[in-house]
Chain A
Amino acid sequence: MIPQVAELPWFVALPVALLLLAGAGLTLIGSIGLLRLRSFYERVHAPTLATSYGMGCILVASMLFFSVLQTRLVLHEVAIGLFILLTTPVTLMLVARAALHRDRLERNAAVPPTIDRRAA
């Protein structure tokens, strides 16, 4: 750690520490879910734990830490947050649709079929 950290007041250091632990904990639980959940469609849910509040807590901790350390507003972590927030749903949706497509090609029974159009 850099020496200036010792001058941080405790009412900044404590929230930073707690936010870091909370964010890392959520990330870890999400990845454990990736291991533990049994079907692919269940596992798609697991990474969103890390990309929502897991990431949020860690980025807020970083913003708080650098803003106090450098006594100016450091906000560029918001850019990472916004970016991940926008891209995660897109990637997960793409992968889920690809998986559905593949499962249907193989006639996997665990997957709901395409809707039959009664009108047709």
Chain B
Amino acid sequence: MRRLLPHPLVSAALLALWLLLNQTLAPGPALVGIVVALLGGRAYDRLEQGRPRLRRPGIALRLAGLVLVDVARSNLAVARLILNRRQDPPAGFIRIPLALRDPRALAVLAAILTATPGSAWVEFDAEEGWLLLHVLDLGEEGEWVRLVKDRYEQPLLEIFA
């Protein structure tokens, strides 16, 4: 089973994408999709050493919901900053010390922070764990540190523990 399906999540995602693009559940395309999914899973196994395990799916779902709400909120905040003609946004760089070291968890954190309007991941120092973040609305620096550390890093530490 492990040889045939080394990455069940990757294979399932590939199959879902295949069926979505074909817009059908007919047996023919589904069969081709299964073959693609199996081959894709094996190819991914060759590329990536180690097996990502999705522990605590509950926390992952909660984090996803949190990100959805945060992105909506920062969409409105950034829109307001852009449309405010009188003053330029108080933008700036922040350094945040991170405890995360797992490359996959860091990738997820980077994607979350960059996809959110108003914050962009600029640089990460892997040795000492410093993150350089550029934010559009600097405000109080502690606020941003707390947002990243408590709201995103803590659940990620638990998920990829």
Binding site for B on A (CB under 8 A): 26, 29-30, 32-33, 36-39, 41-42, 44-46, 48-49, 51-53, 74-76, 78-79, 82, 85-86, 88-90, 92-93, 96-97, 100, 111-112, 115, 117
Contact = CB atoms under 8 A, between A and B. Distances in A.
Contact of B120 (A29, A30, A44, A85): A44
Counting chain A CB atoms within 10 Å of each CB, which of B17, B83, B115, B127 scores highest? B115
B115 A44 contact: no
B154 interface: no
Tell me the interface secondary structure of chain B in the complex.
Answer: mixed
B156 to A, nearest CB: 15
A97 B123 CA distance: 7
Contacts of A52: 71, 75, 115-117
Interface in B109-138: 110-111, 113-123, 125, 127-128, 130, 132, 134, 136
Interface of B: 17, 20-21, 23, 71-72, 75, 78-79, 82-83, 88-89, 91, 93, 95, 110-111, 113-123, 125, 127-128, 130, 132, 134, 136
Contacts of A45: 78, 117-120, 134, 136
A51 B21 CA distance: 21
B121 A93 contact: yes
A46 B134 CA distance: 13
Contacts of A41: 91, 93, 120, 122, 134
7 contacts: A37-B88, A41-B134, A52-B116, A52-B117, A82-B17, A93-B114, A115-B128
